[in-house]
Structures are given as C-alpha cells and as structure tokens.
C-alpha cells in the first residue's frame, strides 16, 4: 500500500487541487448525481467540508476528481499519470464505497417495499447487517482518508436534499439516504472522532426521518446551535479562568448537545425535554485525581448544583472501566450545564480504550473489533491530527476478515482466504452442498479462488447432489472456513450412515430369508434384540457389532413358546454341550434346560424345577425366580448337579454387564478380551448416556473359571468402571 501522504514534489502538491478542478470540471459538464445535484457543485461542496477538517491537498484533489471514473475511460491509469498513485488510490477506493452505498440503498428500498412479518427478527438482522457494512467499509479501503472523503460526500448530499426539499430525480429518496446515513455513516464519524460530521449527519437524518420530533426539539431549544455554542464557549472561558486563578493546570472544552442526540436520550431513558440536563456540557481534563475534586468544588462555588445530578465514577467506575466525575449546575440564566471532570489517563481510556465513547454508544464491542478495525480507526485519528508524512510501518494491520456481498446486497463476513464455496455455506448449508460454480463481480471464477472485500458473489448451484471430497483437501484450497469444513464432513458422515443402514438392512434381510422368517419386520427384530430403532440395528450389523446368530436365537426363542410359563421372560436355553450336562439326582434320561433368567454355569450351585412339557428347568441356587418357585410350589423342586463327562466340551451362555467411560474404540478393546479367551459373543446391547456407556454382552463360556478370567481382563480395559456377571 502506498504511503497516504507520500508525494516527492512539494510544489506539485500545492497546485494539485487547481489542476484537478481544471481537468475534471470540464469533463463533468452538466452531469448530475441521482439526487439531481450537479457533479461540479457536489465536488466544490465536498472540498469546503474537508477544508474544515484538514486541508490536505490530496484529499481536496480527490474530492474534485470523485466522479472521474464515470467520464474517463481507463480512469485509474489517467489518474496515476496526472496526479500520482496516492490520489488515484483515494479516488478508486471512493468509487468502491459509492458502489457499496448504491447497493445498500437498493436493498433498503427492496426491504421497505417487501415489509416483514417478524419485526424483532427483522430488526436484529438489520442491526447485524449494519454492523457488517461498517466493518466492510473499513476493510475495503487501502488509504483510510477515503472514509473522510465519503463522509464529506454524504454530508453534502444530505445538505442538498434538505435545502432542495425534494430531490428532482424521481429515483432519489431522501428517506432512504437518511436511513443509510443513520445506519452506516454517522456511527463511522463517531468512531473516528469527527464530531462535527457526526452531529450534522445525525441531525439531518433525524430531520428527514422524524420531522415532527426534529421540529419539536428545535423549538424547545429556543435558540440556534450557533447561539448555544456561544453560551458554551462563554462558560468554558469562565471556568478556565477560575482554574487558572486557583493554580490548577487543566484543559477545558465544551459542546452543545445536538438535536438527534437529545432525541435519542429522551427516547432511551423516557425523559421529558426539561430532564435532559446535558444539552450543554463542559469537559475538564486535569493531571491528578485529587485535582478532579478541587475542580468540582470550584464549579459548585461558582454555579448552583442541581440536586441529585451528581455521579462519582472515579470512586465507583462503570462496568466497562469508565471513570469521571459528572455534575449538573445552573448557569446565570437558570439553564443546566453538565460538567465532566477527569484525568488525562481517564480521558484517553474513555476515548480510545475499552470504554471508548463509540463502543458503549453503539452497544458494546462486537466481533472483529480490537484488531485490524480498531487499528485503522486509531490510525485515521492520528492521520487527521497530524499534517506530516506517516511512515509505512504506521499503516494499519491487514484485516483477517473478508466482506463480500450477495447480488441482493447482503454482507457476508468470512475469514481471510475464503472462497465461493465458503460464501455459499455461510448463506445456507444446502446452497453450499449444491454449489457448482460462481460469478464474482459478474465474471466466472474457479471455486478455489480467494475472495476480496467488496466483491459481489453469485453462486451457481445444481438442483441435486452434494459436495466433493476434494473440498476437504487443504492443498487444493477449496475451503478456508472451519465452519464450511465441518458442514462438508457432516454431509459425508450422514451419507456413510445411510449407506451403513442400507447395507445392514440387506444383510438382515438375507439372514431372515435363510431362516425362512421373512414375515418378521426389521423394527420388531430390533426391539427383540434391544436396539432403539431399526437403523441402529442395521448399522450394528454392518459394523459387526453383534453376531447374526443372535437373529436365529431370538427367533427360535419366540417360535418355541412354553406350554406353561414357569420361568419369566424367556424360554430356558439348552447348553451347547447337549443333554447330559446336568444330571437329575436319582433319575436318568430326563430333559434338562438352563434358565435364561440367571444363566447358570459350572460350578454354580444349581437347583431344578419340574416344568410341564419341557423337562427340568435349571436355575442358580441364588436366583430370585427359583426362590419364588420354591415358596409357591415346593413339590416341584428337584435336586440336580453338573455332569462331568470326559472328552466332551460344553459351553454355557452367560450375560455380562460393563459400565465404562465412553470413548472411541471402547467396544473394540472389550471385544479383543473375548477374542483372546476364545469366547463366542452371541449378543450385544449398548446404551450411552452423557459420557458413560452401559453395555450388556451375552457370551458362551465353558465354565466359571473362564468367566472370572474374562471379568478380570475387562476390569483392566481403559475406561471400564465395573465389569460383572448379571
């Protein structure tokens, strides 16, 4: 970026303004702005306004050349040849801001025509967009002096509309200009500390938007602003003399409160006009804290204090760190004057620190402040105060944000390096998924082209489809926003989930066909197996989180319904070792089966119960169901014991409950324990609540020793809290 005040030839600078007018005004001819104001008249008025702030020759020349892009082909090259790179940059940036302003007004007109159903949501959206526009404006410019140029241009436009009463051109709408000024330009003037611009912009906007309020307050003030300024200056001089006589070194300044500020305070605090005590205000800046109270005592000796209108923000600072003494006194005519007293350190903190006037007036700090934007504001304030060259190192830091616009004028804030795909995802997730191309400022660009602040982006999308996996490759540069990358990953995760569900459903359907049980629905099967939904069952089948043998088992249990339900819940399960694993003492060749309510395994103490039609049901001695059966029908209890048969390997189903801290890979680590012990897992049911997982496994073990070894190893798995037999 060129140094904003760099110009090698001083004499060239002195006649810069005259040459600019001599070359530009004949080119303008009779051309006019959309308001009806002639280009030449607008340029001259801008120069007069700028002269009151800082008579910088480059600024004044840029004011004269503000519309040269509309009348000269290849205007940038023409400007560089005749006026140098710095002036060309100012005029080019000003053109961008004028284009932004045109877009904003078009959007405001469209919004006003369309109306809205949710007033609160519309107001919040409008407030967010206004703040984004202010940040975008600051981010767009290379030389921050162009903001002052734009403020002077807008001030002149409002003056012209107020003087003419009604814009001659039918498309010009004074109300829309006033709304844009209130939303965008007056807050910027406030941030930059150009109070003369600020109060006049706000007053002219209020005059257009709320003429009745403006006229009522103007009438109640009983005197012109010039008259109020004279009274304030008289009070400033008198207080300064008092302090000098007392030997207190201080700086005293003052200002009359402008009409728009009075109206805002009356509305915000629901005050009547006579309760707004700071219509005239003085500010005293001293070096030491004790001097603040000395000044307060002198002010109260000279003027009568208004009771109840005193605040000590030095002893009790505001939440944002603001410190000052505030008091209200009456002048000799009985009119209130507010006096603020603070040290130079407090004043600097209030003006430029976290308690800066513009921050709390505009509702506190927002995202993006405190970095490049704040540096640019501070840099411009220094630039306005100094009439000397600024070293390149003093230039503001490059912004880490990019502000682009939709064709409808909506501002989208993106991280630096963002692409059209990032832009699409910030508009709407589905638009991002279906993005296939983009036009930037009307020209087709590749999807990995980084966007620049101020560009207008139009997304071209397909009716169907999704993102490409290439978008997640950082080397290809398609995405710069973490938010966009997250949305792309979520899309592929959802796609993989759907594919898992389809694959699992297909596997379960094949298994049901093999078993000849096609009448059984997947939802019913999921319920029988302990899954919350059919989708969870299908995904578990795809990921091999349970054995398809469980399907055969649960269907077999359902088909063989007992003649008499002696044991609750389920049919007893025959051990894999076959008949003879359990012996009935004193009786041979009786059919036995293991109860599923307690699943006994050797060497558990067991007890038998005679059922009707299904032989002997074998329970663990401590089983609550067995105790209930013994109490109700003791005559059916029979003594049983485990049969020991050489050369015959038996396996017994047993249920294990595991409670663990949920983590990735937990189920895999638990499954490895069963695999090492060569135990077959026939059923799995998991439930996650918060950061804990509760799991239930059905495994087949040869005896109690194998079960104890498995439980001990499960207890050593990372994250496992409890592992026990059910």
For the chain, which residues make up each domain, given as ranges? 10-209, 225-365, 401-478, 481-559, 561-648, 652-725
Q: What is the percent of the chain with per-residue pLDDT over 70, rounded to a whole number?
A: 73
Instruction: Give the confidence band of 226 by pLDDT, cuts at 50, 70, 90.
Output: low
Q: 635 CB contacts (<8 Å, ≥6 apart)?
A: none
Domains 10-209 and 225-365 share a fold: no
- Range name among 20-29, 566-575, 645-654, 669-678 with the lowest pLDDT average: 566-575
The string of pLDDT tens digits covering residues 230-247 is: 888 888 899 999 999 999
Q: β-strand 443-445 against 435-440: which pairing, if any? A: antiparallel
CATH number for the segment(s) 652-725:
3.30.70.260
For tokens 């303008």, the residue is 28
User: 373, 337, 339: which is closest to 356 by C-alpha?
Assistant: 373
Instruction: Give the confidence band of 3 by pLDDT, cuts at 50, 70, 90.
Output: very low
- Range name among 167-176, 251-260, 665-674 with the lowest pLDDT average: 167-176
Q: What is the percent of the chain with per-residue pLDDT over 90, rounded to a whole number?
A: 16
Stretch 260-277: mean pLDDT: 66
Coil, strand or helix at 312 = strand
- Range name among 42-56, 172-186, 551-565 with the lowest pLDDT average: 551-565
The string of pLDDT tens digits covering residues 601-651 is: 888 888 888 876 667 888 888 887 888 778 888 888 888 888 766 555 677
Whether the per-residue pLDDT at 449 is higher than 80: the answer is yes
Q: What is the pLDDT of residue 647?
A: 56
Query: Which of 69-73, 187-191, 284-288, 368-372: highest mean pLDDT?
Result: 284-288
**How is domain 225-365 classified at the CATH fold level?**
Beta Polymerase; domain 2 (3.30.460)
Coil, strand or helix at 428 = coil
Instruction: Give the confidence band of 719 by pLDDT, cuts at 50, 70, 90.
Output: confident
For the chain, give the mean pLDDT.
77
The string of pLDDT tens digits covering residues 245-262 is: 999 999 998 877 677 667
Q: What is the pLDDT of residue 383?
A: 53
More confident call, 509 vs 103? 509
Q: Are 382 and 192 in contact (CB under 8 A)?
A: no
Q: What is the pLDDT of residue 171?
A: 42
Q: Are 37 and 157 in contact (CB under 8 A)?
A: yes
Instruction: Give the confidence band of 560 by pLDDT, cuts at 50, 70, 90.
Output: very low
Exposed, middle or buried, 459 (CB in 10 Å: 0-12/13-18/19+)?
Answer: buried
Residues 264, 268, 271, 275, Cα dihedral to 10°: -60
For the record, the structure tokens of 8 come out as 């090698």
Is pTM beyond 0.85? Reply is no
Q: What is the pLDDT of residue 248?
A: 92
Instruction: Give the confidence band of 9 by pLDDT, cuts at 50, 70, 90.
Output: very low
CA angle 159, 160, 163 (to 5 degrees): 85
Whether the per-residue pLDDT at 599 is higher than 70: the answer is yes
Stretch 396-415: mean pLDDT: 74
Residue 38 DSSP symbol: B
Stretch 466-485: mean pLDDT: 90
Whether the per-residue pLDDT at 311 is higher than 70: the answer is yes
How far is it, in rounded angstroms, from Cα 543 to Cα 427?
A: 36
Q: 576 CB contacts (<8 Å, ≥6 apart)?
A: 650, 651, 652, 700
Q: Provide the 10 A C-beta neighbour count for residue 411.
A: 23
CATH number for the segment(s) 10-209:
1.10.3210.10
How far is it, in rounded angstroms, from Cα 671 to Cα 317?
A: 63
Coil, strand or helix at 13 = helix
CATH number for the segment(s) 401-478:
3.10.20.30
Identify the bridge partners of residue 694 per DSSP, sorted by sequence position: 659, 687
Q: What is the pLDDT of residue 134?
A: 67
- Range name among 135-144, 261-270, 349-358, 383-392 with the lowest pLDDT average: 383-392
Whether the per-residue pLDDT at 347 is higher than 70: the answer is yes
Q: What is the pLDDT of residue 194?
A: 72
């Amino acid at each position: 970026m060129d140094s904003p005040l760099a110009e090698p030839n001083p004499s060239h600078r002195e006649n810069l303004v005259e040459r600019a007018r001599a070359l530009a005004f004949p080119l303008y001819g009779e051309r006019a702005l959309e308001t009806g104001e002639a280009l030449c008249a607008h340029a001259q008025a801008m120069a007069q306004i700028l002269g009151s702030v800082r008579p910088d020759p480059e600024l004044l020349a840029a004011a004269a050349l503000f519309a040269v892009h509309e009348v000269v082909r290849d205007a940038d090259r023409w400007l560089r040849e005749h006026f140098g790179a710095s002036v060309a940059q100012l005029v080019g940036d000003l053109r961008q801001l004028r284009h932004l302003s045109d877009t904003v007004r078009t959007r405001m007109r469209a919004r006003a025509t369309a109306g809205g159903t949710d007033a609160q949501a519309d107001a919040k959206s409008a407030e967010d967009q206004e703040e984004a526009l202010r940040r975008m404006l600051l981010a767009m410019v290379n030389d921050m002096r162009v903001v002052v140029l734009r403020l002077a241009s807008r001030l002149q436009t409002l003056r012209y509309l107020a003087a003419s009463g009604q814009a001659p051109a039918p498309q010009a709408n004074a109300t829309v200009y006033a709304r844009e000024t209130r939303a965008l330009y007056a807050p910027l003037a406030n941030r930059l500390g150009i109070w003369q611009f600020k109060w006049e912009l706000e007053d002219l906007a209020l005059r257009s938007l709320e003429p009745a309020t403006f006229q009522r307050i103007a009438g109640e003030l009983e005197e012109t602003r010039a008259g109020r300024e004279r009274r304030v200056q008289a009070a400033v001089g008198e207080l300064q003399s008092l302090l000098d006589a007392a030997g207190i070194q201080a700086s005293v300044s003052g200002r009359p409160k402008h009409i728009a500020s009075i109206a805002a305070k009356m509305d915000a605090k629901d005050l009547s006009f006579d309760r707004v005590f700071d219509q005239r205000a003085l500010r005293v800046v001293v070096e030491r804290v004790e001097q603040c109270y000395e000044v307060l005592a002198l002010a109260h000796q000279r003027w009568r204090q208004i009771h109840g209108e005193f605040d000590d923000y030095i002893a009790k600072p505001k939440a944002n760190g603001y410190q000052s003494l505030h008091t209200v006194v009456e002048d000799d005519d009985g009119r209130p004057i507010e006096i603020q007293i603070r040290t130079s350190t407090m004043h600097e903190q209030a003006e430029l620190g976290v308690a800066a006037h513009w921050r709390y007036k505009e509702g506190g700090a927002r995202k993006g402040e405190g970095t490049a934007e704040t540096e640019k504001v501070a840099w411009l304030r220094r630039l306005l105060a100094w009439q000397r060259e600024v070293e390149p190192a003093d230039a503001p830091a490059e912004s880490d944000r990019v502000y682009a616009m939709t064709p409808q004028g909506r501002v989208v804030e993106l991280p630096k390096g963002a692409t059209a795909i990032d832009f699409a995802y910030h508009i709407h997730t589905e638009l991002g998924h279906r993005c296939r191309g983009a036009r930037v400022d009307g020209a087709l660009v590749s999807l990995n082209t980084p966007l620049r602040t101020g560009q207008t982006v139009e997304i071209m999308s397909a009716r169907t489809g999704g993102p490409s996996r290439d978008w997640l490759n950082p080397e290809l540069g398609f995405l710069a926003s973490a938010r966009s990358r997250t949305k792309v990953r979520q899309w592929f995760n959802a796609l993989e989930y759907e594919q898992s569900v389809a694959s699992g459903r297909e596997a379960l359907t094949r298994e049901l066909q093999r078993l000849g049980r096609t009448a059984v629905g997947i939802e019913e099967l999921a319920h029988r197996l302990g899954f919350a939904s059919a989708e969870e069952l299908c995904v578990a089948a795809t990921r091999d989180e349970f054995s398809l043998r469980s399907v055969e088992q649960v269907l077999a249990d359902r088909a063989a319904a007992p003649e008499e339900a002696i044991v609750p819940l389920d049919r007893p399960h025959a051990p894999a070792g076959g008949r003879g694993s359990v012996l009935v003492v004193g009786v041979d060749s009786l059919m036995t089966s293991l109860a599923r309510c307690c699943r006994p395994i050797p060497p558990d103490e067991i007890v038998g119960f005679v059922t009707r039609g299904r032989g002997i049901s074998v329970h663990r001695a401590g089983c609550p169901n067995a105790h209930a059966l013994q109490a109700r029908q003791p005559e059916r209890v029979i003594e049983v014991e485990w049969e020991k048969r050489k050369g015959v390997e038996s396996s017994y189903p047993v249920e294990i409950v595991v409670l663990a801290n949920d983590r990735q890979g937990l189920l895999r680590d638990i499954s490895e324990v069963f695999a090492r012990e060569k135990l077959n897992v026939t059923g799995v049911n998991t439930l996650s609540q918060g950061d804990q997982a509760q799991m239930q496994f059905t495994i087949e073990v040869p005896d109690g020793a194998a079960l104890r070894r498995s439980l001990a190893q499960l207890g050593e798995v990372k994250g496992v809290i409890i592992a026990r037999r059910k």
